[in-house]
Amino acid sequence: MDKKATISKIKALSLSGDCGGNTLEEVFARCYLAAEKTLGITPFDEQLSAALSLSEGRMVQMQTGEGKTLCAVFAACHEALGGGLVHVLTFNDYLAERDCNWMRPIYDEMGVSVGCITESTPREERKALYRKQVLYITAKEAGFDYLRDFVCFESGETVFPEKLNFAIVDEADSILIDEARIPLVIAGDVAVRESGNTKTIYDKVADFDEDDFAVDEDTRNVYLTDSGADKAEGIFGCNVYAADGTELLAKICACLKARTELAENKDYIVKDGSILLVDEFTGRAAPGRVFPGELQAAVEAKHGLKITSRGRIMGNIALQYFVRLYPKLAGMTGTAEAAREEFEKIYGILTDIIPTRLPCARIDKPLELYYDSAEKRRAIIAAIKEAADIQRPVLVGSESIEESESIAEDLRKLGIKCEVLNAKNNAEEAAIIAKAGKRGAVTISTNMAGRGVDIKLGNTDSADKDFVVGVGGLLVLATSMRESSRITKQLRGRAGRQGDVGESRFFASLDDGIMRKNELRKLAGRHYPSAKVEGALTDKTLLKEAERVQRISEGNTFDERVNLMKYTMIGEKHRNTTFARRCSLLDGSYNSEMWQKNAFDLYEQALKKFPEDELQTLQNCILATLLNEFWSDYLDYTAYLREGIHLTQVAGRNPAEEYNIACEEYYGSAAASIPERMAEKLREVLECDNLADYKIDMPTRTYTYLLNDMGEEFKAKPILMGMFDDYEEEAEKLSDKAVQNIEEEPEKKRFFGKLFGKKK
């Protein structure tokens, strides 16, 4: 597409008014006029260029304040007027409501129906809203509705569209990359298993010391040392490495991790008697999200809270796979370029970089590196005080809730007033961030809090803009190096909106987690300081290697996400098959004939006792229930596989292939058992005098949550990713019998240490 020519034609059509058709240029021209008429906004050429890219199903990079929200309307209207349904998937409920209401006048002028669904939208209203031509909704809530339909038993209860068309993902780097691996889960109170001993185990391992366990720096997984395993076996009176001890071992390691690795006000907060996780990318509380495996109960035990039961998982899907259900996908973000390869490799989306309307006037200072966190803190406080003295607004991006409050306390001791935005008060997030450009404002936030909210110099009404411009504009400070350069760029992008002046400064220290994890000391060699240094470090080689640490971290994270796909693609295939069959039972496009084909004699008896149409309806409903049970069993089995226990017998073969083979075999054998299970149900039906007397075992309550695994879904990642390379030579020498008897001493503890995170 020749964008310049297309944009010229769009503007010409808008001037002439000859744009009554539904070609791309005509629809865009009408949108152009509608924006001017209803909102008083004249779209820029850059916005039209971005909208054209979205219509082509591309990823669009536009800087903060350049008007991404309006661009989505053009693409959405073109798709909707062509007969498609469009979902604009947003970062949070606030943005979904804001953007829907803000852009509604344009949609109304265009004759396009628009709606919004948030977490609080009643279920009974959702079906009608999903029929709207354009729907604003969070990716998470759309995914939950998709899962909820899987546990419905009547077609009238389902809400999610049978056919998806086009999704435009806002803040796409966060949804499609940072949160892509987070599984959305629906659970039911059927067949709930609770051992109830987590608190007891937590108390019994309270005196384990640093000699009894160790921590893998890469994964933060805890594993027992030999002395720890001996102590555990003495306390619990069993071999924790035996096949029947794996659940106990997992709970022990989870309790130790909860006590030593997970920190309150950094990884989670305790509020109203429950654990609220903190999103590592945004710093916000993440209601409804839980730690994986045994870890959630372990954290609850740590704080003496009630151990919650999440019921039995009946369905799950990671955001990465949910968005791929849409045949056409596009996205927009301020930091697409850094993730260009990932967007193309995982989602098949090409990236377009849209230039800013005005040249960027922000000054981005190079990384400031300090010897330790104390030196770094002094420099950060000094920088804030220097800005506050001249009433220059400052936005500080901190790494955790604890750090944000600690910085705020230091500032208050100096008489500097500040607003603290973190997971404890995210309800006011948008209002606080919007005022961050106010004269003299000091705002302490966590990571990317307030994404999608514009920061105007001189406050929301730009009243003091001239003064703020005169003192240098908004100053953005970051208190540590992030795992991803995208987070760095997002923070920088909070200043310098639409050609505004501004400045960004980034601070790091040698003892930052990312520096230790990626072994900066080894990378820098002799350039690494041997004694404490006051003030900023100036060694050019050291600074160069410190910046390389971030690129190493990004590469490792990307490789991990790609590798993990090898272990989940098979599950996506099986889910699509299972969900499709169950949906066809509900919508009437498929009637089960399992009783007729596999239990003919029993079926003939049933026909003599009950009406055929009612019997068929019951058969469909029972099969739908069995498909739920079947899928729950499948999820249980694959969770067991992901724990890595079964891979002890792979003996050097490709673990991804073995995982997929095991899943395929289980799926096939479990599916083959359904006809017999259906026959058993028919025998139960025949015992009833009336069909109404037969009670189907369906959940009386279902609920949704998210697993906070971010790649930790594979708790035994070292096995899945690296163990077989380490053990390949040994594995070739082992006979099948020796592999099966892997529990013998002393090899077993080294092996299971590896399983729970021990490095080579």
Q: How confident is the model at residue 219 (pLDDT cuts 50, 70, 90)?
A: low
> Is pLDDT of 143 > 80?
yes
Task: Evaluate whether 434 touches 455 at the Cβ level (below 8 Å).
Answer: yes
Who contacts 688 (Cβ-Cβ below 8 Å, separation ≥6)? Answer: 694
Among residues 661, 638, 658, the alpha carbon closest in space to that of 650 is found at: 658
- Tell me the pLDDT tens digit for each residue of 653-703: 677 777 888 899 999 999 999 999 999 999 999 999 999 899 888 887 787
| One domain for residues 255 and 335 | no
> Is pLDDT of 30 > 90?
yes
Q: Which helix (H) or strand (E) holds 229?
A: helix 226-236
> Is pLDDT of 531 > 70?
yes
pTM: 0.81
Calpha distance 425→252 (Å, rounded) = 34
Task: Evaluate whether 426 touches 276 at the Cβ level (below 8 Å).
Answer: no
Q: Which amino acid does the sequence have at 642?
A: R
| One domain for residues 333 and 394 | no
Q: How confident is the model at residue 195 (pLDDT cuts 50, 70, 90)?
A: low
| One domain for residues 287 and 330 | no
- Residue 280 maps to which CATH number? 3.90.1440.10
- Residue 603 maps to which CATH number? 1.10.3060.10
* pLDDT at position 156: 87
Q: How confident is the model at residue 729 (pLDDT cuts 50, 70, 90)?
A: very low
| One domain for residues 400 and 482 | yes
HSE, CB side, 13 Å, CA atoms: give it for residue 13.
21
Calpha distance 417→90 (Å, rounded) = 33
Beta-strand relationship, 442-446 and 59-61: unpaired
- Tell me the pLDDT tens digit for each residue of 225-238: 889 999 999 999 88
What's the structural domain count of the chain?
4
Q: How confident is the model at residue 538 (pLDDT cuts 50, 70, 90)?
A: very high
Last residue of a domain, one of 698, 728, 745: 698
Beta-strand relationship, 183-188 and 312-318: antiparallel
* pLDDT at position 246: 73
**In percent, how much of the chain has pLDDT > 70?**
87
| 486-515 mean pLDDT | 89
* pLDDT at position 739: 27
| One domain for residues 556 and 616 | no
| One domain for residues 548 and 575 | no
Q: Which helix (H) or strand (E) holds 317?
A: strand 312-318
| One domain for residues 392 and 459 | yes
Q: Which amino acid does the sequence have at 739?
A: V
- Tell me the pLDDT tens digit for each residue of 444-462: 987 656 677 788 999 989 9
Cis peptide before 287 (omega within 30 of 0): no
> Is pLDDT of 710 > 60?
no
Examine residue 63 and state whether it is found in any structural domain, yes or no: yes
* pLDDT at position 554: 79
> Is pLDDT of 728 > 60?
no
Task: Evaluate whether 503 touches 475 at the Cβ level (below 8 Å).
Answer: yes
Q: Which helix (H) or strand (E) holds 252?
A: helix 246-260
Task: Evaluate whether 649 touches 719 at the Cβ level (below 8 Å).
Answer: no
Examine residue 79 and state whether it is found in any structural domain, yes or no: yes
Examine residue 584 and state whether it is found in any structural domain, yes or no: yes
Examine residue 728 and state whether it is found in any structural domain, yes or no: yes
- Tell me the pLDDT tens digit for each residue of 86-110: 999 998 888 899 999 999 999 999 9
| One domain for residues 380 and 510 | yes
Cα Rg of the chain, angstroms: 29
DSSP summary character for residue 426: G
> Is pLDDT of 349 > 90?
yes
Examine residue 313 and state whether it is found in any structural domain, yes or no: no
3-state helix, strand, coil in the chain (%, to 5): 50, 15, 35
Calpha distance 551→348 (Å, rounded) = 23
Examine residue 708 and state whether it is found in any structural domain, yes or no: no
**In percent, how much of the chain has pLDDT > 90?**
54
Task: Evaluate whether 179 touches 492 at the Cβ level (below 8 Å).
Answer: no
- Residue 25 maps to which CATH number? 3.40.50.300
Place of tokens 């009404």: 461
What domain range includes position 643? 568-698
Calpha distance 16→395 (Å, rounded) = 46
| 74-92 mean pLDDT | 95
Q: What does the block give as tokens for 40?
A: 């008083």
> Is pLDDT of 715 > 50?
no
| One domain for residues 167 and 255 | no
> Is pLDDT of 131 > 90?
yes
Examine residue 714 and state whether it is found in any structural domain, yes or no: no
Examine residue 550 and state whether it is found in any structural domain, yes or no: yes
> Is pLDDT of 85 > 50?
yes
Calpha distance 154→676 (Å, rounded) = 24
* pLDDT at position 250: 83
Last residue of a domain, one of 513, 535, 563: 563
> Is pLDDT of 738 > 70?
no
* pLDDT at position 280: 65
Q: What does the block give as tokens for 18?
A: 């000859």
Q: How confident is the model at residue 310 (pLDDT cuts 50, 70, 90)?
A: low
| One domain for residues 416 and 523 | yes
| One domain for residues 545 and 597 | no
Going 682 to 687 to 690 to 695, the CA torsion angle's sign is: negative
| One domain for residues 457 and 491 | yes
Last residue of a domain, one of 508, 532, 563: 563
Per the document, the length of the chain is: 760
Higher pLDDT, 747 or 597: 597
Calpha distance 656→720 (Å, rounded) = 8
* pLDDT at position 722: 36
Average pLDDT, the chain: 85
